[in-house]
Amino acid sequence: MSLLKVENATKRFGGNVAVNAMSLEVNEAEIVGIIGPNGSGKTTLLNLINGIIQLDSGAIFLRGKPIHNKKPHQLVRLGIGRTFQITRVFRELTVLENMLSIVEAGKSDKNNLVENAFNLLELIGLSDKLDARAGTLSGGQQKLLEFARTLMLNPTILLLDEPFAGVHPKIVMKLSELILDMRKQGKTFLIISHDIHTISWLSDRLVVMNEGRKVAEGSPEQIKQDREVVRAYLGV
Ligand SMILES: Nc1ncnc2c1ncn2[C@@H]1O[C@H](COP(=O)(O)OP(=O)(O)OP(=O)(O)O)[C@@H](O)[C@H]1O
Ligand SMILES: [Mg+2]
């Protein structure tokens, strides 16, 4: 059984069908990349999966159980983590405060939480920035912080929207290596990226979207050769 299954998902905004009868499966400990031109429905698909918006039709399952009527905070508890195309950190809070902000008060021993935050910040190389306000970090560091904050809740599957956009190549490498390490430990990733080079290198499988639909799917090698893909990108 796949970990995540999207079945015939459709979402309209007015007359615009942003996601159109889209189906997708992600297996446990798999890295799946989603590529496609601007406006092809990639972010909308992630928004449907983590419950920010609701389907018009179709279904979404996590380990075979329907999740498409659940709210984002319920989906977080079920193990779905998410980062955003436009990074969502609290700019006025410190790095450490950002890390702790995601955890519900009273849920866990404060010392354990702080220790967990330290360890994750160490892992992503931000442990010397604990007391810095998040707004003073570079764009790439803010993306790393948002990623680490998601890890505070130990998600099963991480939905990452453009994690490499506007990020220094060194940080892209660091983040890619972290993702590969975490997959080895059993975590699953669904990653949107325009960085074809990095996402091809990282992913087991690529899904190509165009105008809300899945137009191709396969290994990065297969996708490179696919005529539909060339069509989606070049519009021919
Ligand atoms: N909340 C919304 N209200 C109205 N239209 C929306 C909304 N969100 C997305 N859309 C529209 O849905 C379509 C798909 O947008 P989406 O953001 O999912 O594309 P994308 O593939 O993530 O694009 P990009 O690569 O530029 O991030 C676009 O036409 C967009 O304008
Ligand atoms: Mg997007």
Domains located in the chain, CATH noted: 1-79+159-166+188-236 (3.40.50.300)
Terminal alpha carbon distance of the chain: 37
Region for residue 165 given its phi and psi (left: phi exceeds 0; alpha: psi -120 to 50; beta: otherwise): beta
Which residues does a 6 A CB cutoff place in the pocket of ligand 1? 13, 16, 18, 36, 38-44, 85
What 8-state DSSP symbol labels residue 133? B
In the prediction, which pLDDT does 233 show? 76
| Closest approach atom of ligand 1 to CA 40 | 21
- pLDDT reported for residue 166: 87
Q: Model pTM?
A: 0.94
Average pLDDT of the residues in 66-91:
95
219 within 8 A of 205, measured Cβ to Cβ? yes
SS3 236: coil
3-state secondary structure at position 28: coil
**Which residue pairs, CB below 8 angstroms and at least 24 apart, start in 135-140?**
135/89, 135/91, 135/92, 137/89, 137/95, 138/168, 139/87, 139/166, 139/167, 140/166, 140/167, 140/168, 140/171
Grade residue 106 by pLDDT with cuts at 50, 70 and 90. Answer: low
Whether the predicted pLDDT of 232 surpasses 90: no
Q: For 16-59, write each residue's pLDDT tens digit.
A: 999 999 999 999 999 999 999 999 999 999 999 999 999 999 99
> How far away, in angstroms, is 116 Cα from ligand 2 center?
30
Longest Cα separation, the chain: 58
- % of the chain surpassing 90 pLDDT: 87
What is the pLDDT, as a whole number, of residue 100? 94
* Atom of ligand 1 at shortest range from CA of 36: 21
In ligand 1, which atom is closest to the CA atom of 192? 22
